[in-house]
Amino acid sequence: MPNYKSRLSKLRKRMNAAGIDALVVFEPHNIFYLCGSNGGFTGAKIGLMVDANTSTLIIDKRYLEEARRTAVADKILAWTVPSYAELVEIAKKLKAKKIGFEPAYVTVKQYERLAKDFEGVQLVGVTGLVEPVRETKDAGELRKIAKAAEIGDLAFAHILEFMKPGVAELDVAIELDFFMRKHGSEKPSFETIVASGTNSAVPHATPSNKKIEAGDFVTLDFGAVVDGYHSDVTRTIVVGKARQKQKKIYGIVKEAQATALNAVVSGAICQDLDEIARDIISDAGYGEAFVHNLGHGVGLEVHEAPALGKGSETKLKPNMVVTIEPGIYLNGFGGVRIEDLVVVTKSGYKLLTHSTKDLLEL
Ligand code: ZN
Ligand code: ZN
């Protein structure tokens, strides 16, 4: 059982600093993180109010019984549409003056309702209260992510046997997804990417009916989910013999990835890591072709804080889980991305993805 008390006490410190008496959380992953209720992943109505001493979960009636069994909150109430009456009662007892909400997850309609129900209380949009707490993982979370990454490694080994000229990208994607589910993944971590030939020049290509041809680069980007926790890995291979230019591009990305990886350590600044990889790719003449950030945090969401990119001054801390994934994408030619998932440690990092990064020629 996760230590919800410790999570809430970290959040309360941040709420104090933000000067709010209570926070109404609507983002479902944040709610799950703070109390263990998972009704929110289905799009059901759910909200969690955290004040200085208590937490109150309001949840769609269909998930009420399950929440009462599994969630950890001082009060668990049915969502009575369309009012926040119960929360207002608690706020009144608290004599709350300022209540925070997550502006990115509240619709205009919801806001109007909140403003009406909480009349007389100042409602303030506050961003980044729960997410930074989620950045650092506890032992239980690390185990789940490591398990998800292990399923990814097994799936990669399996798919190498499956890919050959004439097999469609879509069939490779389905096979990857099926294999991961068979080996303990709840669902794909995100829509699996299988991009072959010139399609691999699109960083987030959707698998198509295109058949893999001899000589194609194939970029595979996929992950598993274990108990709500994600993994994320990318490997690029060549089906058949690699051409000189393919070897060259691959070599640059591999060097950028290895160099950035070796700079991962507690205290490193996220945007500096991005720059380390970007410099290598730019020096090789392909700076314009590295069109995305170096990486991102991974946990309850496949993309979460911290961002490893320009403008991100976050310092890495032990037990953060991040990806390192530089790439080069050349229109009309193809692309290469190599992505590992790592846990940050005091002295460096621990690799969670173990699939080879040598250029494979199938
Ligand atoms: Zn990925
Ligand atoms: Zn990624």
Per-residue pLDDT of the chain (362 residues; tens, 9 = 90+): 999 999 999 999 999 999 999 999 999 999 999 999 977 677 778 899 999 999 999 999 999 999 999 999 999 999 886 678 888 988 899 899 999 999 999 999 989 999 999 999 999 999 999 999 999 999 999 999 999 999 999 999 999 999 999 999 999 999 999 999 999 999 999 999 999 999 999 999 999 999 999 999 999 999 999 999 999 999 999 999 999 999 999 999 999 999 999 999 999 999 999 999 999 999 999 999 999 999 999 999 999 999 999 999 999 999 999 999 999 999 999 999 999 999 999 999 999 999 999 999 99
d(C-alpha 212, C-alpha 168), whole Å: 6
Residue 293: exposure state from Cβ atoms within 10 A (0-12, 13-18, ≥19)? buried
d(C-alpha 180, C-alpha 73), whole Å: 33
For tokens 């990486």, the residue is: 295
Ligand at shortest distance from the CA of 190: 1
Residues with Cβ within 8 Å of 53's Cβ and at least 6 positions away in sequence, in order, are none
Q: What kind of fold does domain 4-134 have according to CATH? A: Creatine Amidinohydrolase; Chain A, domain 1 (3.40.350)
d(C-alpha 221, C-alpha 242), whole Å: 20
CA of 249 to the centre of ligand 1 (A): 19
CA of 7 to the centre of ligand 2 (A): 25
Q: Give the CATH H-level superfamily of domain 139-351.
A: Creatinase/methionine aminopeptidase superfamily (3.90.230.10)
Separation in Å, CA 338 to CA 219, 236, 359: 9, 7, 10
d(C-alpha 159, C-alpha 185), whole Å: 16
Number of Cβ within 10 Å of residue 356's Cβ equals 12
Ligand at shortest distance from the CA of 342: 2
CA of 217 to the centre of ligand 1 (A): 17
d(C-alpha 127, C-alpha 106), whole Å: 12
pTM of the model: 0.96
Contact 7, 133 (CB under 8 A): yes
Ligand at shortest distance from the CA of 222: 1
CA of 281 to the centre of ligand 1 (A): 19
Amino acid identity of 59? I
CA of 81 to the centre of ligand 1 (A): 39
Ligand at shortest distance from the CA of 235: 1
Ligand at shortest distance from the CA of 302: 2
Report CA 340 to chain centroid distance, whole Å: 13
CA of 297 to the centre of ligand 1 (A): 11
Ligand at shortest distance from the CA of 234: 1
Q: Which two tokens stand for residue 341?
A: 């998932």
Q: What is the full DSSP assignment across 189-258?
A: SSS-EEEEGGGGGSTTPPP-SPBP-TT-EEEEEE-BEETTEE--EEEEEESSPPPHHHHHHHHHHHHHHH
3 state SS of 15: helix
CA of 145 to the centre of ligand 2 (A): 14
CA of 327 to the centre of ligand 2 (A): 11
Contact 113, 84 (CB under 8 A): yes
* Cα dihedral 196→256→302→203 (10° resolution): -30
Report CA 251 to chain centroid distance, whole Å: 27
Phi, psi of 325 (to 5 degrees): -145, 70
What are the domain boundaries of the chain?
Answer: 4-134, 139-351
User: What value does the CA radius of gyration of the chain take, rounded to a whole number of Å?
Assistant: 23
Residue 265's pLDDT is 98
CA of 353 to the centre of ligand 1 (A): 12
CA of 201 to the centre of ligand 1 (A): 15
Residue 80's pLDDT is 80
Residue 40's pLDDT is 66
d(C-alpha 51, C-alpha 24), whole Å: 9
CA of 141 to the centre of ligand 1 (A): 19
CA of 93 to the centre of ligand 2 (A): 45
